[in-house]
């Protein structure tokens, strides 16, 4: 009996010491600031923060979980918008609101985690550093914690900073794809032959061989595009602003054969693990290409491809694969909007 009394007394002393240390040496709430810069204009950055449907795609707190369930409430953008979330695997839930919005300048969030009635307050300030660069400042105020829970404040700032680091990397990938697509569409000059340097790409896709009779090739392209798109968006969970335009890669001399072999895929920002052996990655190295944009019937693209090949021969260059980038997804109408790129070298 004496042993239990001594043990209980020691436990009480330790608990008292812990409570006293937390009360006198650890703040009941925390305030801290995190600053980051991103190489995109403020209007494009702000819209990713002010719309929760955009926000949850790249914010690591939401995007890193495959089991999280999110409900979005109107209005979907700006002041008054909100979401609720729950993650049964992690036993986490909460609500998030936008309480104040000043377009391209400031946002104020309230985050209620679990059933805590006191929210985390996050003010985000957007500062244009140049026409193409934005500084983002997070001012974070955590809720008051009881003496017993106050030890959490030792790692709260590190947890927020780590989440912001991962989120900014995700946001750069999202905006990179979005800006690249916008710039490409804005620069189109149809039927003009140009020279472009293409950056390296990592493309997830499928290898195919099919008949080249009449419309058989294009019908096969539609089927396989849908396979790749569904696998990328549904199985891998990628959003449209995380992926590039679909691209078909083949030998330009293939078009004269009865059967055509091609690789059809969708560019991703990096190679990831996949479990389906029907799909594979193809790494494309940086190349110099002869390029033409073409709009019309799919079979009509062959004349544009021939022009690219003739230009290469005239310039006494060798050529490799032809890349057909679909600026509009393949569909049943047989009308396409393509960027045709022929890789050339000496």
Cα distance between residue 326 and residue 334, in whole Å: 12
pLDDT at residue 42, rounded to an integer? 94
Nearest to 109 by CA among 85, 125, 93: 125
Q: Which residues contact 189 (CB under 8 A, 6 or more apart)?
A: 293
| Percent helix / strand / coil, the chain, rounded to 5 | 35, 35, 25
Nearest to 175 by CA among 235, 120, 239, 108: 239
Give CA separation, 158 vs 150, 162, 163, in Å: 15, 6, 9
Give CA separation, 218 vs 289, 297, 344, in Å: 24, 10, 26
Q: How many CA atoms lie within 13 A of 295 on its CB side?
A: 8
Chunked into runs of 10 residues, the chain (346 residues) has average pLDDT values of 57 51 52 89 92 88 84 88 89 91 94 82 94 92 60 61 88 79 74 84 93 86 93 85 89 85 91 89 90 90 91 90 92 87 89
Cα distance between residue 178 and residue 163, in whole Å: 22
Instruction: Report, in angstroms and rounded to the nearest whole number, the Rg of the chain calculated over CA atoms.
Output: 27
pLDDT at residue 29, rounded to an integer? 61
Beta bridge partners of 121: 110, 141
Q: Write out pLDDT tens, residues 18-55.
A: 444 444 444 556 788 899 999 999 999 999 999 998 89
pLDDT at residue 305, rounded to an integer? 92
pLDDT at residue 25, rounded to an integer? 44
E strands in the chain: 31-38, 69-73, 82-87, 92-102, 106-113, 120-130, 133-141, 194-198, 201-211, 247-250, 259-268, 280-284, 287-297, 318-326, 335-345
Nearest to 341 by CA among 257, 247, 244: 247
Cβ–Cβ under 8 Å, residues 94 and 70: no
pLDDT at residue 26, rounded to an integer? 46
pLDDT at residue 22, rounded to an integer? 47
pLDDT at residue 323, rounded to an integer? 95
Q: Which residues contact 217 (CB under 8 A, 6 or more apart)?
A: 210, 211, 260, 298
pLDDT at residue 18, rounded to an integer? 44
pLDDT at residue 156, rounded to an integer? 62
In this structure, what are the phi and psi dihedrals at residue 332, rounded to the nearest 5 degrees? -70, -15
Contacts 24+ apart (CB under 8 A), 187-193: 188/293, 188/327, 189/293, 190/293, 190/294, 190/295, 191/292, 191/293, 191/294, 191/304, 192/292, 192/293, 193/290, 193/291, 193/292, 193/307, 193/308, 193/311
Q: How many CA atoms lie within 13 A of 67 on its CB side?
A: 8
Q: Write out pLDDT tens, residues 266-322.
A: 998 888 888 899 999 999 888 889 999 999 999 889 999 999 999 999 998 899 999
pLDDT at residue 148, rounded to an integer? 43
pLDDT at residue 255, rounded to an integer? 78
């Amino acid at each position: 009996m004496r042993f239990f009394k001594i043990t209980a007394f020691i436990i009480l002393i330790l608990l008292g010491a812990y409570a006293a240390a937390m009360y006198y040496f650890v703040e009941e709430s925390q305030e801290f600031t995190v600053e980051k810069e991103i190489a995109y204009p403020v209007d494009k950055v702000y819209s990713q923060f002010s719309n929760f449907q955009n926000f949850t795609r790249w914010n690591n707190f939401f995007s890193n979980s495959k089991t999280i369930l999110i409900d979005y409430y109107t209005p979907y953008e700006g002041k008054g918008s909100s979401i609720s979330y729950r993650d049964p695997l992690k036993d986490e839930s909460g609500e998030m609101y936008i309480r104040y919005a000043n377009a391209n300048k400031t946002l104020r969030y309230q985050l209620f985690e679990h059933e805590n009635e006191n929210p985390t307050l996050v003010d985000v300030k957007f500062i244009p550093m140049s026409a193409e660069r934005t500084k983002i400042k997070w001012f974070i105020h955590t809720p008051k914690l009881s003496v017993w829970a106050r030890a959490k404040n030792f790692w709260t700032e590190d947890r927020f900073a780590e989440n912001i680091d991962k989120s900014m990397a995700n946001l750069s990938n999202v905006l990179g794809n979005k800006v690249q697509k916008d710039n490409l569409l804005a620069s189109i000059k149809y039927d003009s032959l140009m020279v472009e340097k293409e950056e390296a790409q990592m493309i997830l896709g499928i290898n195919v061989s099919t008949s080249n009779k009449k419309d058989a090739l294009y019908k096969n392209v539609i089927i396989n595009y849908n396979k790749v798109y569904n696998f990328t968006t549904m199985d891998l969970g990628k959003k449209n602003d995380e992926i590039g335009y679909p691209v078909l890669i083949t030998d330009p001399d293939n078009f004269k054969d009865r059967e055509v072999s091609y690789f059809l895929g969708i560019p991703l920002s990096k190679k990831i693990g996949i479990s389906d052996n029907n799909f594979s990655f193809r790494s494309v190295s940086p190349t110099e290409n002869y390029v033409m944009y073409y709009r019309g019937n799919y079979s009509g693209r062959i004349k544009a491809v021939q022009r690219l090949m003739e230009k290469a021969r005239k310039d006494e260059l060798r050529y490799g694969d032809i890349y057909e980038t679909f600026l509009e997804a393949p569909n049943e109408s047989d009308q396409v909007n393509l960027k045709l790129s022929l890789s050339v070298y000496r």
